[in-house]
Amino acid sequence: MLILMKQGATPEQIQAVCRRIREIGFTPHEIPGSIRTAVGITGNQGAVSPEHFQNLPGVAECVPVSRPYKLVSREVKPDPTVVDVRGAKVGDGSLSLMAGPCSVESRDQIFRTAEVVAASGAKFLRGGAFKPRTSPYAFQGLKEEGLQILEDVKRNFDLRIVTEAKDTETLEAVAAVADVLQIGARNMQNFSLLEAAGRLRKPVLLKRGISATLQELFMAAEYLLSLGNYQVMLCERGIRTFETMTRNTFDLSAVVMIKHHSHLPVIADPSHGVGIDWAVPPLARASVLAGADGIMVETHPDPSKALSDGQQSLNFDAYRTLAGELAELAAWQAARR
Ligand code: PEP
Ligand code: MN
Q: Is 207 in the pocket of ligand 1 (CB under 6 A)?
A: yes
What is the pLDDT, as a whole number, of residue 138?
Answer: 96
- Nearest ligand for residue 190 CA: 1
CATH 3.30.70.1140 in the chain is located at: 2-63
For the segment 148-163, what is each residue's pLDDT rounded down to a tens digit?
999 999 999 999 999 9
CA 316 vs. chain centroid, Å, equals 25
- Among positive and negative, which fits the CA dihedral 177, 216, 296, 227? negative
- Nearest ligand for residue 237 CA: 1
Determine the atom of ligand 1 nearest the C-alpha atom of 208: 9
What is the pLDDT, as a whole number, of residue 159?
Answer: 98
What is the pLDDT, as a whole number, of residue 35?
Answer: 85
What is the pLDDT, as a whole number, of residue 248?
Answer: 98
Instruction: Annotate 93-109 with b (16+ C-beta within 10 A) or e (fewer).
Output: ebbbbbbbbbbbbeeeb
- Nearest ligand for residue 247 CA: 1
The protein residue whose alpha carbon is closest to atom 4 in ligand 1 is 184
Q: Is 102 in the pocket of ligand 1 (CB under 6 A)?
A: yes
Q: Is 237 in the pocket of ligand 1 (CB under 6 A)?
A: yes
The protein residue whose alpha carbon is closest to atom 1 in ligand 1 is 102
Ligand 2 centroid distance, CA of 1 (Å) = 40
3-state helix, strand, coil in the chain (%, to 5): 40, 20, 40
Q: Is 272 in the pocket of ligand 1 (CB under 6 A)?
A: yes
The protein residue whose alpha carbon is closest to atom 10 in ligand 1 is 185
- Among positive and negative, which fits the CA dihedral 54, 60, 65, 69? negative
The protein residue whose alpha carbon is closest to atom 6 in ligand 1 is 184
Question: What CA–CA distance (Å, rounded) separates 54 from 42?
Answer: 18
CA 116 vs. chain centroid, Å, equals 23
CATH 3.20.20.70 in the chain is located at: 83-336
Ligand 1 probe mutation, 113, 164, 296, most atoms within 8 A of CB: 164
The pLDDT mean for the chain works out to 96
What is the pLDDT, as a whole number, of residue 336?
Answer: 85
CA 263 vs. chain centroid, Å, equals 12
CATH fold label, 2-63: Alpha-Beta Plaits (3.30.70)
What is the pLDDT, as a whole number, of residue 45?
Answer: 83
What is the pLDDT, as a whole number, of residue 65?
Answer: 85
Is beta strand 38-42 parallel, antiparallel or unpaired with respect to 2-5?
A: antiparallel
Q: Is 166 in the pocket of ligand 1 (CB under 6 A)?
A: no
Q: Is 184 in the pocket of ligand 1 (CB under 6 A)?
A: yes
CATH number, span 83-336? 3.20.20.70
Q: Are 296 and 268 in contact (CB under 8 A)?
A: yes
Question: What CA–CA distance (Å, rounded) separates 204 from 198?
Answer: 9
Determine the atom of ligand 1 nearest the C-alpha atom of 126: 2
Per-residue pLDDT of the chain (337 residues; tens, 9 = 90+): 899 999 999 999 999 999 999 999 999 999 988 888 999 999 888 888 999 998 999 999 998 888 889 899 998 899 999 999 999 999 999 999 999 999 999 999 999 999 999 999 999 999 999 999 999 999 999 999 999 999 999 999 999 999 999 999 999 999 999 999 999 999 999 999 999 999 999 999 999 999 999 999 999 999 999 999 999 999 999 999 999 999 999 999 999 999 999 999 999 999 999 999 999 999 999 999 999 999 999 999 999 999 999 999 999 999 999 999 999 999 998 888 8
For residue 327, give the H/E element and its range.
helix 316-336
Enumerate residues with CB within 5 Å of ligand 2 (an ion): 102, 309
